[in-house]
Amino acid sequence: MVAKKSTSSTKVIKHTPCPSILVVDDNVALCGIVCEILEAQGYMTTRARSANEAMEIIKTTTPNLILTDLMMPDVSGMTLISRLRLEPSLSSVPIIVISAKAGKEDRDAAHLAGANAFLVKPFSNHELKELTNRFLPSKVG
């Protein structure tokens, strides 16, 4: 018995998982808008309404990028950043602060805590996309 060679070529398609972004903000409306913008760019998003909720989410999944507000009801975003930077598995995950507190002191403190970038509220869709794409490749052209 002779095996017949297949003349059809099989194309292997590699599916890379979507980069995931954790958005931490107690403003539900803003959080929703940010997630919509990011999802339109091909990212997978998870929402947390507080720093404590973010820490619970991070226990089960490691995001590729974290966006956080500074002013939140339970634990400040600054404290969240400091806690995240103490976790070895999260030490290299980029963190972008999204805040209306835009003074030099706030920016410097965020960078000292371990934030990689700062986005001032209000911001444009373009600014959010551009900053996010600096840290993660977009899945949309």
The enclosing domain of 130 has a CATH number of: 3.40.50.2300
Residue 34 in any domain: the answer is yes
Domain with 109 in it: 20-135
For 91, the 3-state DSSP assignment is coil
Residue 94 in any domain: the answer is yes
Residue 113 in any domain: the answer is yes
Residues 30 and 23: their CA atoms lie apart, in Å, by 10
CB 94 within 8 A of CB 110: no
Please give the tally of structural domains in the chain: 1
| pLDDT over 70 at 109, yes or no | yes
Residue 98 in any domain: the answer is yes
Residue 2 in any domain: the answer is no
State pLDDT tens for residues 28-83.
999 999 999 999 999 999 999 999 999 999 999 999 999 999 999 889 999 999 99
Residue 5 in any domain: the answer is no
pTM of the predicted structure, to 2 decimals: 0.85
Of residues 36, 88, 30, 79, the one with CA closest to residue 54: 79
Compute the C-alpha angle 73/39/99, nearest 5°.
30
Residues 3 and 10: their CA atoms lie apart, in Å, by 18
